[in-house]
């Protein structure tokens, strides 16, 4: 794939602003566990301004995928993202995975999420990321039917591609480039080791370098409540600075990359 201005590869920094919805949507007992939920509350309360400051200092654009219920409950955080000039996209209404829903439930989640972003912030979302990237066989057709033009859930390639018979462009992801795969920890996962910054950073840099050599698209997936911890902000800054200072890498929002991949209408 040829990238703008002769760039060798492309980079897209994305942030899933799940907040406490990541537990509220799927654990019936979560609403009675403030200690568990507080890990998510840290995202919109503390981490979003810290993350936005890093992006601002290096002039790097990003896309924030936001569940509709998070937009309703934490409007100040979403407003900060928009005021900073970043893209806001669809991440479900609740944080329930489409793969576990009925046809009716999945479409209802999609529509309610679109309506929530529009009602709270006037956002007409153009792209979609499923909670946990866990799409159903129906998801792409639903996105096409409701006018969304890109998705970022699948791992079948390292360059964008269009889903056959639709206008939906896929921006491929991978677990190696997701902070949750390295740092996720909660009361329900005591046996997991929390990775060091050095371990996660080495994996991210190696994967990004490999994608760059092959002329692909590197989609980082971060969560403010995870990457925005004080001890990890330096790691985030390293990734952002590396992208900003590499003239051979085109850095853009997910929507901009999808538009480029689609080509002239």
92 phi-psi bin (left φ>0, alpha ψ -120 to 50, beta other)? left
Q: Residue 73 half-sphere exposure, CB side, CA atoms within 13 Å?
A: 19
> Over 90: is that where the pLDDT of 6 sits?
yes
> Over 60: is that where the pLDDT of 265 sits?
no
Predicted TM-score of the model (pTM): 0.96
Mean pLDDT value across the chain: 95
> Over 70: is that where the pLDDT of 156 sits?
yes
Least confident span in 56-65, 81-90, 189-198, 202-211: 189-198
Separation of alpha carbons 15 and 11, rounded Å:
13
Over pLDDT 70: what percentage of the chain? 97
For 220-253, write each residue's pLDDT tens digit.
999 999 999 999 999 999 999 999 999 999 999 9
Q: Please give the average per-residue pLDDT across 140-166, as a whole number.
A: 98
For 131-148, write each residue's pLDDT tens digit.
999 999 999 999 999 999
Name the E strands within the chain: 9-16, 62-66, 87-90, 127-128, 150-151, 161-162, 169-170, 217-222, 249-251
> Over 70: is that where the pLDDT of 260 sits?
yes
**Local structure of residue 95 (DSSP, 8 states):** S
User: For the chain, what's the residue count?
Assistant: 265
Q: Which fold has domain 7-262?
A: TIM Barrel (3.20.20)
> Over 70: is that where the pLDDT of 189 sits?
no
Contacts of 85 by beta carbon, 8 Å cutoff, 6+ apart: 61
């Amino acid at each position: 794939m040829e990238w703008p201005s002769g760039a060798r590869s492309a980079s897209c920094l994305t942030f899933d602003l799940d907040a406490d919805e990541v537990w509220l949507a799927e654990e019936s007992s979560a609403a009675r566990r403030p200690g568990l939920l507080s890990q998510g509350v840290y995202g919109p309360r503390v981490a979003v301004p810290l993350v936005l400051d890093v992006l601002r200092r290096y002039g790097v654009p990003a896309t924030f995928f936001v569940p509709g219920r998070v937009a309703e409950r934490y409007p100040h955080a979403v407003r900060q993202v928009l005021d900073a000039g970043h893209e806001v996209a669809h991440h479900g209404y609740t944080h329930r995975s489409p793969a576990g829903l009925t046809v009716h439930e999945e479409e209802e989640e999609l529509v309610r999420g679109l309506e929530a972003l529009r009602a709270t912030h006037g956002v007409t979302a153009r792209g979609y990321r499923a909670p946990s990237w866990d799409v159903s066989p129906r998801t792409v057709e639903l996105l096409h039917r409701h006018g969304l033009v890109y998705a970022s859930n699948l791992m079948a390639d390292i360059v964008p591609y269009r889903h056959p018979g639709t206008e939906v462009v896929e921006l491929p992801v991978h677990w190696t480039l997701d902070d949750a795969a390295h740092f996720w920890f909660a009361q329900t996962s005591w046996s997991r080791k929390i990775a060091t910054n050095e371990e996660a950073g080495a994996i991210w840099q190696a994967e990004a370098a490999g994608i760059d050599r092959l002329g692909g698209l590197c989609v980082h997936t971060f969560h403010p409540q995870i990457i925005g911890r004080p001890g990890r902000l330096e790691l985030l800054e390293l990734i952002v600075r590396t992208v900003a200072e590499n003239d051979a890498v085109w850095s853009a929002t997910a929507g901009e990359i999808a538009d480029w991949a689609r080509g002239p209408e």
